[in-house]
A = this chain, B = another copy of it.
Amino acid sequence: MGRTRSSSPTISEVAAAAGVGRATAARTLGGYGYVSDEMRERVLASAEALGYRANQLARSVSTGVSHTIGVVVADISNPFFGGVVRGVSEIASARGFDALVISTYEHFEDEIAAMNVLVDKRVDGIILSSAACDPASTAHLQLARERGIPLVLLDRLIPGIELDAVVIDNRTAARTATGELIAAGHARIGFVWGPPTPARPSFRRDLVDAAARNLWSDGERLMGYLDALDDSGLPLDPDLVAVGEKTEAHTYDEVMRMLALADPPTAFFCTETDALTGTLHALRDSGVAIPSQASVIGFDDSSWAAVMEPPLTMVEQPMLDLGRRAAELLLGRIDGDGDGEEAPTQLELPARLIQRASVAPPR
């Protein structure tokens, strides 16, 4: 039975101490219903004296509202998600909601487990950055919907699934960044990384297929890269697309490979922080100067990028806004009392290219 922690006074105790009925104490403490000023004073006084604090869990069981939202991201230690969660928390806490945050490290099983935990803990809504990229594997999302828990997708869409979502316009961002390189005169641009492909793709079709089978955002960035190439009538050289694991070490190897090509790239577009640092390491170890011998554009601006030598041109993602908008959308659904399956809202926020000094014409 309910263990006796170091006891927390209950409503009954306060009522007793105040010499009033349970309900009266509950009403004043809960802030609802009618209570005479006199009774209220009495109750408040003894509540104060006893150090009463409402048990939100009990309240939730009774009301069906927990004032807690779940946030499941790939990795909270990744600055991108850190920013996103900050944005979510900002607006959620302003409205009295707290966040239960869970990292999945891109493991699909962990994502399923996370969804279950959140549903079981009866959160009022869930913000999810899913690792799923297959409309078939969405039973866990189904669960939340069935239970009437609003869900909004964050940063990553799941192709074929219509749900509320807030994402970045990855494709346009990649197209713009690649276009910037092309405008500077580059024709051979390394793409680090596109979505990991099983083996080195030989044809454009293989790449596009791979993109569709991977994380939505990665796929979009690859498509944007291809768009830019098309825009200028430039050919796609599969050798210039990195494949494999998403680690700094592997990225390093891929860039070294590209650098050893007969006709190596004269510019690199890196779609994530690890890809960027891996590329920078490879460039340095190869004695390739930036931007005189190779131009570079990275993704996910950070204060570090501006103090690099040279300052790096970067694509900046509005992480905070991404989180804020997702939270606003979710909270709207929550009090929207929405049984009515209203049409999904999908917001696409723009990413911004911050031009600094790592892009120059090829020599």
Residue pair B55, A57 in contact (C-beta under 8 Å): no
Shortest Cβ distance from A304 into B: residue: B304
| A67–B268 CA distance with the chains assembled, in angstroms | 47
Residue pair B146, A54 in contact (C-beta under 8 Å): no
A303 is contacted by which of B3, B61, B273, B319 (Cβ under 8 Å)? B273
Residues in B with CB closer than 8 Å to A186 are none
Residues in B with CB closer than 8 Å to A65 are 3
Residue pair A101, B101 in contact (C-beta under 8 Å): yes
Chain B CB within 8 A of A77 CB = yes
Chain B CB within 8 A of A205 CB = no
Residues in B with CB closer than 8 Å to A277 are 303-304, 306-307
Chain B CB within 8 A of A86 CB = yes
Nearest Cβ in chain B — how far from A33, in angstroms?
A: 14
Residue pair B85, A5 in contact (C-beta under 8 Å): no
Chain B CB within 8 A of A103 CB = yes
Shortest Cβ distance from A337 into B: residue: B3
Chain B CB within 8 A of A36 CB = no
Q: Assuming A78-B82, A89-B102, A304-B308, what are 19 further A-B pairs, CB within 8 angstroms?
A: A1-B62, A53-B116, A54-B120, A55-B61, A56-B120, A57-B57, A57-B121, A68-B100, A76-B85, A79-B82, A85-B101, A89-B101, A98-B121, A99-B102, A101-B101, A277-B304, A281-B306, A307-B308, A308-B308
16 A–B contacts, CB within 8 A, in A order: A7-B148, A8-B147, A53-B120, A54-B120, A56-B122, A57-B61, A57-B121, A76-B76, A77-B319, A79-B82, A98-B100, A273-B303, A274-B303, A277-B303, A281-B306, A304-B304
Q: Which 7 interchain pairs have the tightest Cβ spacing?
A: A6-B148, A77-B86, A304-B304, A280-B307, A82-B82, A309-B309, A5-B148
